Structure 1
Amino acid sequence: MNVDTAARHVVVVGGGIAGLSAAHRLASAGCRVTLAEAGDRLGGKLLAGRVADVPVDLGAESMLARRPEGVELARAVGLGDRLQPPAVAVSAVWTRGALRPLPKGHVMGVPGTAEALAGLLTPEGVARIAREAELPPLRGDQDTAIGALVAERLGREVVDRLVEPLLGGVYAGDAYRISLRAAVPALAEALGRHTHLLDAVREVQARGAAQQGAGPVFTGLDGGMGTLPDAVADAVRAAGGDIRTRTAVHALESGAEGWTVHTGSGPLAADAVVLAAPAAPAAALLTGVCPEAAGELARVEYASMALVTLAFRRADLGALPGSGFLVPPVDGRSIKASTFSTNKWDWVAKGSGELFLLRTSLGRYGEEKALDREDAELVGLSLTDLGAAVGLAARPVAAEVTRWRGGLPQYPVGHLDRVARIREAVAALPGLRVCGAAYDGVGIPACIGSGQRAADEILATPTPARGTPGGTGE
């Protein structure tokens, strides 16, 4: 901790998991922290709810366990004993009229061998993968779209049947636009040491195999990932932090003594600001103080999606296989995935009683109008696809539609260069940093890491204290 840390007042703008993580880091280091969230709740895309009185996640339901930030934060705020890997993690791909096992031995859908995708692809598609060795060597020093690279090297079937549905589950995006360097950095790095894509994939797979003893790949929380934000907020308050919902920030003003954060309930004087808002509101706030960063942020695009959570009587259902399935866009279905929540999570199963809960997701980049349909229509589309995929004919006893409009930032080719330009411009202003899903990754650990990075940079940079202890200036 810097010697002047206790004298600092830092305002965090945005109460998603990135902003909460930044506030937790700062408060734990002794700063006086005020977090301002425009909405009436905390957590962003993490949301706990109930369907048919069964507790369930209505937003993100799991996080990557082998990236440490999420697990470490959960433990730090007292949720370590509630970390829970999936009880069942056997997924399928619903394509070409059947549920087909999700292949092992791939990196975000990119296989290391042709045999890995046998059964999922046509024989012609499998044979096309094996011919990559005949292609000219790759240049691994350029950013490229994942879909374009994989289609060129291994054939479009790999993209359409596996890469697209896997990326759709993470970004709700288009594989032919998403940056390899931004979305799958480990593979992009390995390509710098290989001249063929399959060889680079096998290197990444070997590294992953070496980590298998480190525990499960993904984890959730007993009670839902939606319980994490409130636990972090409680820890911030316990450290002296002030968390305010329904507190919209309208403008930022930089002066000789620090920052003034203008809110609907009055100005806040701060020594430093962490801007943890999504790209569009962040751009609006930066327009007057950092127009270069504002211009870059204004060009960040988002995808929207909806989650349809359904509760059925167990007695009305046959056995549903595994933890769920993915749906390739090329098959023209309405849903892009389904998760059998009662199968996947022990905590949901224990709370379900005589009910069975599952959810579907709908919506991809460029398909925002699909979310304008009535709830009943989205439920009907989900039931139609579930009937075709797994023979589900039962009617739900309860349904909940959760729309995440503008929920997932897109990472097109050039995204990392854009982020670098934003950070360079912001860093020129003392006591200002940015964080969130628009920068370093959309997963929960990535967002947590982004918030912690912003906080650490604030802590590492001396900022002039205001004239009064704590510098409230309110």
Structure 2
Amino acid sequence: MRSSAPAHVVIIGGGISGLTAAWQLARRARSAGHRLAITVLEASERLGGQLDSVALMAAGPVIDVGAESLLIRPGEDAEQLLADIGLADELAASSALRAAIHTHGALHPLPTSHVMGIPAGDRALRELIATGLISTHGVQRAQADLTAPASPLVGDVPLGPYLRERIGDELVDLLISPLLAGVYGGHPDQLSLEATLPLLYRLALAGESSIIASSGHLLHPAGDEHGRGGTITPAATELPTPVIAEQPGTSLPSGARMMTLKGGLATLPHVLAEHLRTSHGVQIHTRTPVRRLDRHPETHHNGGRQRWNVVIDGRPGRAIEADAIIVATPAPTASSLVAEHAPAAAAALSDLQHVGITIVSLAFLRSDWPTTPAVSGYLVPAVEGRAVKAVTFSFVKWPHLAAASPELMLVRLSLALPRLAERAAETPPSTDEDLITVAAAELKRTMGVRGRPIAAHITRWHPGLPQYVVGHRDRVRQIRRALAGVPDLAVCGTAYDGVGISACITAAVTAAAQTWGSLNRHDHHSTITRPAVAHASGQSPASEPVTAAAVGPAEAS
């Protein structure tokens, strides 16, 4: 590479993680007065990853058919990003109505003060009796946690068994398990205590005996009637946040708000991409899968380190040269791409299991509903054995949707098809029509809805949500140790530090900072130009720029 040419960063993955990383790098370069070329490559036909919004009907409002809510905490990266790209005024708040649990044929409102279903103090525990969700016996069993000695911890443990020992089966099965399934898609008996509830894990590791009292401390650090005092000040930023299925009714840290965007959350990646193109000259290409990452055969002036060749799948002899790479893809793709250069990281990534997500979004006429629900949605415990695990009454949860189309009832249902697959007597629904039938039957059963939906949309996310099973934090540490030896290769996404949108944005900011530091150590500062295309021979004539024809169709502006 000519010494006058700029450094070039290639970001693989055009979801919110990859686009945020591009934004952060572009802003850093401009603030520093440096010049940087950035290319984003997305394998699918659209940007946004799990942020997707559609209009179910030609004249209907746009609704989210992927992730539907964003946890905004004051001063954090997500809030800053929205402000930077002019979307702060487009935020829409959820309604004040709580969600519920549907079990034993009835809706039971979620308690008002809890951490992922764990009551935040003794008073919150006693309030459970009034909800009708937990029996008096179940509450008495959970109260034993307040006086029982600490459960010794020397490391990470499965969340489910640990909680069952502390507070009993009933509270875990009917409240905690459905909330965890709504966030992670998995079963608490496999999920990691350290990764899913990191602050409670640290308190338990430090010898705090009661998990109920610890939850009270986390939500009420100053101490009040819900907890046992204000001796612990939590880092609320580490509380888990939701992705595909909401975490309905969970108590939020002080100042946090559950929000969406009026035009759907897909507005975020689309507006961000437009800013990247028009304001920073970032090249963004969809339908451009990356096959592998090679080291350039020649050593360039960047501290004696070889540059990268990013080999595009289906385009023999074509590759894009890069000085640094950020892999912002799901774990299986990331594992394949880093395998040659960080085999230990690839092995840890390949061990990460996923649960596929199926969401059915429906539109009904309001006249088909006997009444408007008094809750924003409900969760279904796995012990019920039903295909549906979560229902969101979008027209109730998001008032702006009801205002836009008062004649419609918009609903989204998250299906847990593995629940049925585990039951030999039942075959999980597979076709779109089967899924719509299952969803409509659920609403008829629980809400008395008449007739069929007038519009529907099916979302299937694969590989789906990463499962933070026992040892997840150790695996992430292993990945980072392995990648520390390859400083011009960074990773970010849902596989590492959180599955929520806000967590992904923060992780992307960190990956961009790492990449920026790597570039600066090798003094790449010059003019932004389109990166050269390397031939299979390794030669890269400067006269051949990257174009849509070279690496794939550019995503339409």
TM-score range, shorter chain: over 0.9
Match for 2:275 among 215, 231, 235?
235
TM-score by length of 1: 0.93
Match for 2:441 among 384, 402, 408?
384
Distance 1:8 1:380 in 2: 54
CA contact (8 A) 1:335 1:362 kept: yes
Match for 1:347 among 400, 407, 416?
400
Fraction of identical pairs, as percent: 38
Alignment RMSD (CA, Å) = 2.4
Secondary structure of residue in 1 paired with 2:457? strand
Q: What is the deviation of 1:417?
A: 0.5
Match for 2:212 among 198, 207, 210?
198
5 and 362 in structure 1: CA distance in 2 versus 1, 3 angstrom threshold: farther
Match for 2:522 among 461, 464, 470?
464
Q: Aligned residue for 1:413?
A: 470
Distance 2:82 2:408 in 1: 29
Q: Aligned residue for 1:283?
A: 335
- Match status 1:315 vs 2:367: yes
Amino acid at match of 1:456: A
CA contact (8 A) 1:88 1:345 kept: no
- Match status 1:117 vs 2:131: no
Match for 2:48 among 35, 43, 49?
43
Q: What is the deviation of 1:346?
A: 2.4
Match for 2:380 among 327, 331, 354?
327
Unaligned runs of 5+ in 2: 30-35, 224-232, 237-251, 297-304, 534-557
Distance 1:133 1:399 in 2: 47
How many residues end up aligned between the 2 structures? 471
- Match status 1:57 vs 2:64: yes
Q: Deviations over 1:401-434 (max 9, x none)?
A: 1111221000001001000100110121131111
Q: Deviations over 1:327-353 (max 9, x none)?
A: 111111220011111111123123324
CA contact (8 A) 2:219 2:253 kept: no
Match for 1:72 among 77, 80, 95?
80
Distance 1:331 1:217 in 2: 31
Amino acid at match of 1:261: V
Match for 2:347 among 295, 301, 305?
295
Match for 1:249 among 290, 297, 301?
290
Amino acid at match of 2:458: V
367 and 408 in structure 1: CA distance in 2 versus 1, 3 angstrom threshold: farther
Q: Deviations over 1:281-318 (max 9, x none)?
A: 11111122211111111111110121111111112212
Distance 1:78 1:463 in 2: 33
Distance 1:59 1:275 in 2: 22
Unaligned runs of 5+ in 1: none
Higher-Rg member (1/2): 2
Distance 2:110 2:173 in 1: 14
Distance 1:169 1:80 in 2: 27
Distance 1:443 1:316 in 2: 34
Q: Deviations over 1:418-472 (max 9, x none)?
A: 0010011012113111100000110000011111110011112235367996583
CA contact (8 A) 2:440 2:453 kept: no
Q: Deviations over 1:119-167 (max 9, x none)?
A: 2111211110111244332335521222111111000111100111101
TM-score by length of 2: 0.80
Secondary structure of residue in 2 paired with 1:70? helix
Secondary structure of residue in 1 paired with 2:468? coil
Question: Which structure's residues are more often helix, by fraction?
Answer: 1
Distance 1:50 1:427 in 2: 44
Alignment of 1:147-162 (within 5 A): 147-162=160-175
225 and 34 in structure 1: CA distance in 2 versus 1, 3 angstrom threshold: same
Distance 2:103 2:447 in 1: 12
Distance 2:327 2:253 in 1: 37
CA contact (8 A) 1:168 1:364 kept: no
CA contact (8 A) 1:22 1:451 kept: yes
Secondary structure of residue in 2 paired with 1:303? strand
Q: Deviations over 1:208-227 (max 9, x none)?
A: 99998954531111111121
CA contact (8 A) 2:429 2:435 kept: no
